[in-house]
Chain A
Amino acid sequence: MSHSENPHVELFRQEALELLADVQECLLLIEDAPEDKDAINRLFRAMHSIKGAGGMFGYDRITDFTHHVESALDQVREGRLAISRELIDLVLASHDCIKEMLDDEKSMSQDRLQEIQRGLESLGGSNAIAPTSKAAIKTPSSGLSMYRIRFRPDARIFFSGTDPMRLIQELSEMGDCRIVCNLSEVPGFAALNPELCYLYWDIILRTKSTLNQIEDVFIFVASESQIDISIVDEEDIEDSQYKKLGEILVERGDIPKENLEQALHESETIGARLIKKSLVDPHKIESALAEQEMVRSARAKRQQETAMASIRVNADKLDRLVDLVGELVTAQARISRIAESIRTNQELSDVAEELESLTTRLRDETMGIRMVPIGSVVSTFRRLIRDLAKDLKKDIEFTCIGEETELDKGVIERLKDPLVHIVRNSTDHGIELPEIRAAAGKPAQGNIRLEAMHSGAHVLIKITDDGKGLDIEAIHRKAIDKGLVSPDQNISENELFQLIFAPGFSTAEKVTELSGRGVGMDVVRQNIEALRGSISIDSAKGKGITITLKLPLTLAIIDGLMVTMDQDSFIIPLASVEECVDLDHQEMDKIKGRNILNLRGVAVPFVRLRERLHRTTKTPEREQVVITNLEGKRMGVVVDAVVGSHQTVLKNLGPAMRQARDVSGATILGDGSVALILDLQSIQ
């Protein structure tokens, strides 16, 4: 291991050398005056420091070894081991070994270290306990378990600097959690000391974490506080019933068994009876009921899952459902508008608000139903690659990660062709023949990997091959030939890669030999962009190519920002909106026609929607700018006014409008009028 590049490690080395010098000095002092307590303490502390710091800077062998020396010295310090010539010789020898290991830890012979260790042991400094590992090894258990936790902090817990709420929060982050706080021990106001903790908590936690991990949450308070943890339910229990309330209370030790039996003879609910008889306080009942409910519902859910994992529904029915939800969203938007205009009617506002939240939930649920795992498409690739590779006499392994990632059915259907195209390219042009690969020092078997993962409101799909990659110089030459870049233009590697998506770039006959990519990457890009997605490429010559597709989760309904211009409404996809600002006309005068906006000191280019759409109406006094961000590129869109967020049901423009620029679709607003959805990619 080379430590030299890390300045902290170098610092440690320096310090360790100083400490070693100290060790040597102390040893010599002790040799002359064995009763010198100060020197013994200093010696111990020096070894202790070397050991403590060593492990942090990667010197694990020093730490292990020093531990033995330190243990012996600890015994000396406590008077259990006498100072002898042998001891001093051994510690001096340890000093030398540590010094050598500081220079080169690896080449130190294990025998030499062991010899010293054995020597120390034979002197009686033997009971060195191996340094305990830092933390219990956490093996995540496979399934979900339900734990019952009672946390009764010490009343003086605040004085140890511990905030019990932090611990409860930590627990609640581990899974599904029901927390019942018990107030029964809080005294009256006169007797209350605000610096003491009178509360305790019952927590029912459903989590994948192990008992060990839960205990770790309380590790610092375990000695003073009362913490009871028990497992009340595990994945493999199938019974949907759970213990009765009374049983839970007895099990928790909240009531004695006799009291329960006595109460059971009467006819009200058991909880009410126990409270009435003040056999148990209401918080305890509440907490036990919470446990009962959580376990029961978890079990019921599991049973349901096994009983009815899925049902098949005709895809048309789903499409109709989505259409209807779309109409519902539109109708709901109308109601909201009306409710807003009649502000005086509180009842109407309430209903409108509730309707809005219900519609949003219904929308999300419905979209969820349409989600299909990407694995359904991917399976066809295995066969495709296998057959192609056989024809081409190549050896290719196909791996897929994240097959379970879900995408809207519509997106998946339209994604298949572009994906086939990319995978085919990788197989055909990317991966080399086995003998060429072997000659280049690569494994003979090529690899194509497809990875799918969620990223916010998008899904990323990466297709990586370890083939010959893109020839950046050839692309550059080609781009110059085609007049896409001028010869003296300074262009980044990344920008060059993106050129292979340029229309016509890859259709030229020479393409295969220069880039190894087949025809039609521009078509792939068009397809992906039609899905409101984007595509990017990264490559290293000889190492392979990664193509990344970024796709929206759904096609049907998006969150949009409604703006107006020239009496018309437009929608900007909210996911691309950063903020809205006023356009300062005075500021505009300064920049004189250059469409650059000063946004808190950062220059942001902008587009006037009015000019862009060739409207000739007069610009209003006040204008607003929507700052959009598309893959890191910011752009302002100047509009007359920003109205607000709007759930947008996407409608395609008819075939006649397919060629329309700058708009990607339309939506129907609450008042029945149509708003166009701006296509930022094209505007940019």
Chain B
Amino acid sequence: MAKTIMTVDDSNSVRQMVAFTLKQEGYDVIEAVDGLDALKKIQSAKVDLLITDLNMPNCDGLTLIKEVRAMANFKFLPILFLTTESSDEKKAQAKSSGATGWIVKPFKPEQLVSVVKKVLP
């Protein structure tokens, strides 16, 4: 069965591009526009991987990661975050919130796919 990936981003174009790329690779994709939306949708979904932006209005990426990681279902869920800076500080913050890895923006579709394949069993 196809794996399901949730992509969370307030930018419609980035979300579309991520969703489009992943669907082409055969994944099912659930989209969410920000952290709140993601938290609402993830409750009832079977998600195998979460990809989230960090900078978002209403509930940002860091908060989302912490909240999701605290749910019993998603204790071990792979979580990737998108970041523009390769700033280690942000990465460390996100990692300690429970993220698995990151993708540096801007990225090309192939880079996205290779990172997804790296963390998705």
Least CB distance, A125 to chain B, in whole angstroms: 15
Q: Using Cβ atoms and an 8 Å threshold, which residues of chain A touch B3? A: none
User: What's the Cα separation between A12 and B17 when bound, in Å?
Assistant: 9
CB of B68 to closest CB in A, whole Å? 10
* Mask of B103-118 contacts with A, CB within 8 angstroms, 1/0: 0111110010000001
- Specify the chain B residue showing the minimal Cβ separation from A50: B11
**Closest Cβ neighbor of B120 among chain A residues:** A166
Residue in A45, A55, A159 whose CB lies within 8 Å of B55: A45
CB distance from B113 to the nearest CB of A (A): 13
Stretch of A105-113, A219-227, A416-424, A499-507 on the interface side:
A219-227
Known: A8-B16, A160-B98, A163-B121. A54 touches B106 (CB 8 A): yes
Q: How far is the CB of B16 from chain A (nearest CB, A)?
A: 6
Q: Are A56 and B79 in contact (CB under 8 A)?
A: no
Q: Does B99 contact A (CB under 8 A)?
A: yes
Known: A53-B14, A161-B119, A166-B119. A219 touches B101 (CB 8 A): yes
Contact of B118 among A54, A158, A166 (CB under 8 A): A166
Q: What are the residues of chain A within 8 A of B100 when measuring CB–CB? A: 160-162, 220
A216 CA to B115 CA in the complex, in Å?
11
B7 smallest CB distance to A (angstroms): 13
Q: How many A-B residue pairs have CB under 8 A?
A: 95
Q: A220, B17: Cβ atoms under 8 Å? A: no
In the complex, what residues of B have CB within 8 A of residue A223's CB?
Answer: 92, 95
Contact of B20 among A8, A131, A135, A220 (CB under 8 A): A8
> Is the pair A12, B13 in contact by a Cβ cutoff of 8 Å?
yes
On chain B, which size bracket covers the interface? 35 or more
Q: Mark B32-54, 1 if CB is under 8 A from A, else 0.
A: 00000000000000000000000
Shortest distance from the beta carbon of B102 to any chain A beta carbon, whole Å: 7
Q: Which residues of B contact A48 (CB under 8 A)?
A: 55, 84
Q: Check: B12 CB closer than 8 A to any chain A CB.
A: yes
- Within the complex, which residue of B99, B105, B118 is in contact with A170, where a contact is CB–CB below 8 Å? B118
Q: Which residues does chain B contribute within 8 Å of A53, judged by CB atoms?
A: 11, 13-14, 105-106
Which single residue of chain A is at the shortest CB-CB distance from B108?
A: A56
Inter-subunit contact A161/B12 (CB<8 Å): no
Name the distance in Å between B49's Cβ and chain A's nearest Cβ: 8
CB of A15 closer than 8 Å to a CB of B? yes
The reply on B30 being an interface residue by CB < 8 A is no
Residue A65 lies at the interface, judged by CB distance under 8 Å to chain B: no
Contacts of A56 in B (CB 8 A): 14, 17, 105-108
Interface of chain A residues 1 through 49 with chain B (CB within 8 A):
8, 11-12, 14-16, 45, 48-49
What residue of chain B has the Cβ atom nearest to residue A66's Cβ? Answer: B84
CA distance A159 to B76 in the complex (A): 5
Interface centre among B10, B76, B121 (most CB of A within 10 A): B76
Most chain B Cβ neighbours within 10 Å, of A11, A16, A53, A224? A53
A23 to chain B, nearest CB (A): 14
Q: Chain B contacts of A159 at CB under 8 A?
A: 69, 75-76, 98
Known: A63-B106, A160-B99, A166-B119. A49 touches B11 (CB 8 A): yes
Q: List B contacts of A220 (CB < 8 A).
A: 95, 100-102, 118-119
Cross-chain contact A134 with B119 (CB below 8 angstroms): no
Instruction: Give the contacts of A108-159 with B (CB-CB under 8 A).
Output: 131-132, 134-135, 158-159
Q: Is A242 an interface residue (CB 8 A)?
A: no
Interface: A462 (CB within 8 A): no
> In the complex, what distance in Å separates the CA atom of A37 from the CA atom of B57?
14
Q: Does B6 contact A (CB under 8 A)?
A: no
**Chain A residues touching B, majority SS:** helix
A51 within 8 A of B: yes
A52 at the interface (CB under 8 A from B): yes
- Please tell me if A497 contacts chain B, counting CB pairs below 8 Å: no
Interface size class of A (residues with CB under 8 A): 20 to 34
Q: Is B59 engaged at the interface, CB distance under 8 Å to the other chain?
A: no
- From residue A196, how far is it (CB to closest CB) to chain B in Å? 12
Whether a CB of chain A sits under 8 angstroms from the CB of B61 is no
B86 within 8 A of A: yes
Determine if B82 is an interface residue (Cβ-Cβ < 8 Å): yes
List A contacts of B82 (CB < 8 A).
52
Kindly provide the distance from the CB of B21 to the nearest chain A CB, expressed in whole angstroms: 9
Q: Give CA–CA (A166, B117) in the complex, Å.
A: 10
Contacts of A503-561 to chain B: CB distance below 8 A: none
Say yes or no: A55-B105 contact (C-beta < 8 A), given A45-B55, A161-B77, A170-B118. Answer: yes
Closest chain A residue to B83 by CB distance? A52
Contact (Cβ within 8 A) B14 A52: yes
Q: Report B108 CB to chain A, min CB distance, Å.
A: 7
Q: Does A57 contact B (CB under 8 A)?
A: yes
With a cutoff of 8 Å between Cβ atoms, the chain A residues found around residue B104 in the complex are: 132, 134
Pick from A56, A132, A135 the residue with the most CB of B within 10 Å. A56
- Selected contact of B106 from candidates A14, A52, A160, CB within 8 Å: A52
CA distance A478 to B93 in the complex (A): 75
- For the complex, what is the distance from the CA of A131 to the CA of B105, rounded to whole Å? 10
Question: Could you say which residues of chain B place their CB within 8 Å of the CB of A15?
Answer: 11-13
Asked whether A51 lies within 8 Å of B84 as measured between CB atoms, the reply is: yes
User: Which residue of chain A has its CB nearest to the CB of B68?
Assistant: A161
Known contacts A158-B76, A161-B77, A220-B102: A52-B11 contact under CB 8 Å: yes
Q: Which of A207-249 contact B (CB under 8 A)?
A: 219-220, 223-224
Chain B residues positioned under 8 Å from A170 (CB to CB): 118
Given A166-B118, A224-B95; A161-B79 close (CB under 8 Å): yes
**Cβ-defined contact, A52 with B84, below 8 A:** yes
User: Other than the known A45-B57, A55-B105, A161-B76, what 9 A-B pairs have Cβ atoms closer than 8 Å?
Assistant: A8-B16, A8-B20, A53-B14, A56-B14, A56-B17, A56-B108, A131-B85, A162-B100, A220-B119
Residues of A within 8 A of B (CB): 8, 11-12, 14-16, 45, 48-49, 51-57, 63, 131-132, 134-135, 158-163, 166, 170, 195, 219-220, 223-224
A-B contacts, 19 of them at CB < 8 A, read A15-B11, A45-B55, A48-B84, A52-B82, A53-B106, A56-B17, A56-B105, A56-B107, A56-B108, A132-B104, A134-B106, A135-B111, A159-B75, A161-B76, A161-B78, A166-B119, A166-B121, A220-B100, A220-B119
> Residues on B close to A: CB < 8 A?
10-14, 16-17, 20, 55, 57, 69, 75-79, 82, 84-86, 92, 95, 98-102, 104-108, 111, 118-119, 121
Closest 5 CB pairs of A and B: A55-B106, A220-B101, A12-B13, A161-B100, A161-B78
